[in-house]
Amino acid sequence: MTRLRNYFLTGFIVTAPLAITAYLAWSFIGWVDSWVKPYIPARYSPDTYLPFAVPGFGLIVAIFLITMIGFLTANFVGRTIVGLGEDILDRMPLVRSIYRGLKQIFETVLSNKADMFQKVAIIEYPRRGTWSIVFISSEKSNEVTEKLEPEVSKTVAVFMPSTPNPTTGYLLYVPRSEVIELSMTVEEAAKLVISAGLVAPERLPLKKNGKKVAELVEPPREEGGRAAS
């Protein structure tokens, strides 16, 4: 019975991620097809000529249309049309705020120049001696950092994710000297947060500028064993 249980658990560990991934991919394809296929003329749809439905055809059409819209927007005529459309949206009070916020988020996330969430670090939070994983969002100056400059020499914006859902969390402005960068990737840190510490990457002892974290937190000691002032 012990062997059977181990075999079952091993098979479950192997098949469960594959099954969940396939289910999510299939559900996404079906969701896109349900939105796009009703607008495809019957003479252009393969479902009209085949005895069975072709999954993913709506997704292919959607990708093609989005690519074509991007191609047309890149030229002068497309930019002019987009500009006119944005001017119309700017005159709508509620829609204007939603559109501007969503556009800024997508431009920041999808831009090749975006540097958000490329570094992982730890900070001392929520109390001294307790450390939390954070993603460094931005080190650029803004109104918040300028207001803090008289008291703090340099601050950075970090995002502290929640467990087990890393899409929610807190935005914190922390002194740069209190942020300790890690060598793990963003994907590895996300797995660590989602698994509540169960899936941790194997790394060498964490160091910064040749010092371990303990040396950064604890004051140096003299030869007699007392802490240096």
Q: How far apart are CA 36 and CA 65, in angstroms?
A: 11
Question: Which conformational region is residue 132 in: left (phi greater than 0), alpha (psi within -120 to 50 degrees), or beta?
Answer: beta
The reported pLDDT for the residue numbered 114 is 46
pLDDT in tens, the chain (229 residues): 888 888 898 888 889 889 999 999 999 999 999 999 888 888 888 888 888 888 899 999 999 998 988 888 877 777 888 888 888 888 888 888 888 888 877 776 666 544 567 789 999 988 888 999 999 887 777 787 777 777 667 888 899 988 888 778 899 888 888 899 998 888 888 888 888 888 877 765 544 444 455 555 555 555 555 554 4
The total of other beta-carbon atoms located within 10 Å of residue 31's CB is 12
Say whether 54 sits in a helix, a strand or coil: coil
The reported pLDDT for the residue numbered 211 is 47
Cβ-contact 211, 180 below 8 angstroms: no
Q: How far apart are CA 61 and CA 99, in angstroms?
A: 25
Cβ-contact 180, 209 below 8 angstroms: no
Q: Which residue has 């249980």 as its token pair?
A: 5
Cα 32 to chain center, whole Å? Answer: 22
Q: How far apart are CA 101 and CA 200, in angstroms?
A: 35
Q: How far apart are CA 39 and CA 62, in angstroms?
A: 11
Provide the pairing of β-strand 119-124 with 211-212: unpaired
Of all helices (H) and strands (E), which one includes residue 53? none
Q: Where are the domains of the chain?
A: 2-110, 119-217
The reported pLDDT for the residue numbered 229 is 45
Does the pTM exceed 0.85? no
